[in-house]
Structure formats: C-alpha cells, structure tokens
C-alpha cells in the first residue's frame, strides 16, 4: 500500500479521492487550508494536515512531516484548484494571479518538494488534476483554461524528465463534475462582470450554459467517478499519461481536435448565441 498526499480535500474530487484511497488500505494524508473542513476525513481513517498551496512554509512543513514519518511520499495528487471566470478584458488580474498561485504554482512547488525523495527511492507517482479545459477553451473562462493548459505542459515535461528516476506522471482531465466548482465559477463570473458592459450578454450566456451543463446528469458526473480514475492512476503498473473523465468530455476533446478552429468557433457562437 502507498503513502498518498492529496491537496484540496475540503470538498469535491479531493474529498472523494481521499475516501476511496483510504478505504483501499492506503495511508492517506488529506489536506486543506482549514482542518475543520476535513474533520470527517480524519474520522474515516485519513491523516489530516493543514496545507495552503499558496504558502511556501505550509507546503514545506506538510511534505517534511510526511517524509519524516514514512521516508517518502509514494503518490502526490495535486488536486487543489478553482475557476476564475470572466471576460479577458474585464477580469481582475489580481484574482487571476491568485488562481494561478493555486492551480499552477502550488502544484509546481509541491512537485519540486516531493521529487528528491521519490528520485532517491527510484519510484513515485505524481497525479495532476487538470481538466478537459486544458484541451479546449470556452469563452468567459480564458484565464481558468490558461491555468489548466499550464498543468498540461508541466505534466508533459515532467513525465519525460522524471521517467529515468522511476517516477510516473499522469494528468486527469475531468469534464463537468457535480461538485461546488460550478457555483464557485459562476460566483467569480458575477464578481468580474460589468453588468451593463459590452460583455453582459456573453456573461449571461456563459452563466446559463454552466448551469445547464452541471444540472445535466448525462453531461456531468460525480466526484467519485474522478476519484475512481485517480485510484487507477495511483495503483496501475503502467498508468496512462492522460485520463479524460466522462463520455461528454471525451466527445468534446475529440471534437475540438477534429473540427479545427473555424468550425469550433462556429459551434461556440451557436451555443453562446453571440454574433
């Protein structure tokens, strides 16, 4: 069984992954910024740690504690992340920077911290939770998508760099998952929008489209569906470099690749009802 460190366990995919892996017999360190948000995971058998992926001291102390107890972290699941939505022109760049600190730089720094012991031991797994939004872009989410494209690039480079040391890297690409993500994204969209501004109609269309998508049980899936895939990536002898989660996400990723830019833009204009 493996020693697993998971970020962003207060809700959604992180919480479901912690529960699934601890029930599978793994030693799971579930983390969140506030310990009270993950108290139930401790009751379920997880070790819980306060970990803020935007704070260097917090990250260093968490990794050091786990390594001091176990020698090394076998599996790092970089799950912490959220969506900062809004038109490119209107979005508050300070909020965008905070999103990148969580979605990209926190992921990168934790990876740097765990790799030395993994390399020394000749094994390890790093599982980065990206998004289908790292393979295609919807309007109103440009900065969020940019952060997930960054996760794709980091994962591709790291997979090659770490392979000679026995460290395997996978990126998970969920589609619409029924967690609090959609509500958070809609909240950031509302906060960034100028309600009578030039993008008002687009913002409404994006908001309505997200609401429809997350409510559609055919288009979306539960957090445990992603947790099941993360478990496979953690325990499989030969984990895949990429896992696209949900049939709808697979369809959209392939459609974007096959249709080309002009046709894809036409699809988006139809969906979001813009000229």
For the chain, the domain total comes to 1
CATH number for the domain spanning 183: value is 3.40.50.720
- Over the Cα atoms of the chain, what is R_g? 19
Query: The pTM is what?
Result: 0.92
Whether the CB-CB separation of 93 and 20 falls below 8 Å is answered with no
Residues identified as active-site: 144
Residue-level pLDDT at 185: 47
Contacts of 206 (CB under 8 A, 6+ apart): 85, 138, 139, 140, 141, 189, 272
* Residues in the chain where the model's pLDDT stays below 70: 180-196, 274-275
Domain of residue 181 covers 3-272
Quick: pLDDT tens for 11-37: 999 999 999 999 999 999 999 999 999
């Amino acid at each position: 069984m493996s020693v697993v460190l998971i970020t962003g366990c207060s809700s959604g995919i992180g919480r479901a992954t912690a529960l699934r892996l601890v029930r599978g017999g793994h030693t799971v360190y579930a983390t969140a910024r506030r310990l009270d948000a993950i108290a139930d995971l401790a009751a379920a058998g997880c070790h819980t740690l306060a970990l803020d992926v935007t704070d260097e001291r917090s990250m260093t102390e968490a990794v050091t504690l786990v390594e001091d107890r176990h020698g090394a972290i076998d599996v790092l699941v970089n799950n912490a992340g959220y969506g900062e939505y809004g038109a490119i022109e209107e979005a508050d760049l300070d909020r965008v920077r905070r999103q990148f600190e969580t979605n990209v730089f926190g992921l990168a720094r934790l990876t740097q911290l765990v790799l030395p012991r993994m390399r020394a031991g000749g094994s390890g797994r790093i599982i980065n939770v990206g998004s289908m939004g790292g393979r295609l872009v919807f309007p109103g989410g440009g900065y969020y998508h940019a952060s997930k494209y960054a996760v794709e690039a980091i994962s591709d480079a790291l997979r090659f760099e770490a392979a000679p040391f026995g460290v395997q890297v996978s990126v998970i690409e969920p589609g619409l998952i029924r967690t609090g993500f959609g509500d958070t994204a809609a909240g950031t969209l509302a906060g960034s929008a100028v309600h009578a501004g030039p993008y008002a109609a687009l913002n409404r269309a994006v908001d309505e489209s997200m609401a429809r998508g997350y409510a559609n049980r055919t288009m979306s899936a539960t957090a445990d569906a992603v947790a099941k895939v993360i478990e496979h990536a953690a325990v499989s002898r030969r984990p895949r470099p990429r896992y696209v989660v949900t049939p709808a996400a697979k369809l959209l990723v392939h459609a974007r690749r096959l249709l080309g830019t002009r046709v894809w833009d036409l699809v988006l204009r139809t969906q979001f009802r813009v000229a």
